Amino acid sequence: MTKSYDICWGRHRLQLGKRTCVMGILNVTPDSFSDGGSHFTTEQAVAHAEKLIGDGADILDVGGESTRPFSDAVSEAEEIRRVIPVIEAVAKRSSIPISIDTMKAAVAKRAIEAGASIINDIGALRLDPHMAEVAAETGVPVILMHMLGTPKTMQASPHYENLLTDIKIFLADSISNAVRHGIERSRIIIDPGIGFGKTVAHNLTLIRCLDAFESLDAPILIGPSRKAFIRNLLKTEFPETSSAPNSADMERIETGTQAIVAASILGGAHIIRVHDVARTAATIRILDALKGDFDASCD
């Protein structure tokens, strides 16, 4: 049975575990691996945000810097230029929590001032020495993700002595570091980092063994949406998926994503981060009902 968590802050509340929450991805970038350039203007981004919210997003995750493998960093000023107008506009239109997907403390601070209320840091507070301070001062929930190195280096022959143990130790240390800097323990969410410094086998093991992270006593976020490992699993039988075009071939990749989403929910994930909110909301509804039936009938 998935453990429940109740995160309350400001005017927001996330009841995690009673049902699975869906986080909608809004990339305000020209070069993200799946939808780069699709929502690059403020008008495009706000329109897509409204669609994601209408489709059932519980959280909106706004990012202004691509973190695809081997990507180059963008400047702090450029990242702020991309995301702040979008966050300001969406915050005026919707009451759902907005997450800022950034590794930079200054971007996180400006985003929270603009209306964001969660920090999603793929660097787990280790890439910017001021990020923990911003999180502690603002009192918002923080998502701490495991990643090998940086987006530029993470997929260069990723290796672990013991995958689950290494990632669990990393996340435990990240939680301790966050608490040490004044971040409330009850507002920490963990993410094992699907696709961030992992092989196909690593990603499958993480999905299969999510319960290994339950002892860390924190809600678990999983972000498998349209990741390369799904395309790699499909490309032998469906070669057209290897290039992930924005066409009908993406349907297979999205179907593969939903299979991983289902496995993640059954494995104990509390939040699912995806591009296609509508399909994921339907998957979640069925899987949550199925889990509820199991909880009620398995003596």
Residue type for 297, please? S
Alpha helices (H) along 162-249:
163-180, 200-208, 228-234
10 within 8 A of 187, measured Cβ to Cβ? no
The Cα 247–Cα 117 span in angstroms is: 34
The Cα 242–Cα 228 span in angstroms is: 8
138 within 8 A of 130, measured Cβ to Cβ? no
Task: Return the beta strands (E) in 84-199 as ranges.
Answer: 98-101, 118-121, 142-145, 188-191
∠ CA 155-239-227, nearest 5°, is: 35
The Cα 231–Cα 256 span in angstroms is: 8
Q: Identify the CA nearest to 104 among candidates 82, 132, 146.
A: 132
Q: Show which residues are catalytic.
A: 227, 273
66 within 8 A of 33, measured Cβ to Cβ? yes
Residue type for 229, please? F
The Cα 192–Cα 222 span in angstroms is: 7
Query: How many CB atoms are located within 10 Å of the residue 55 CB?
Result: 16
Taking CA atoms, 244 is separated from 68, 72, 151, 229, 262, in Å, by 14, 21, 20, 12, 21
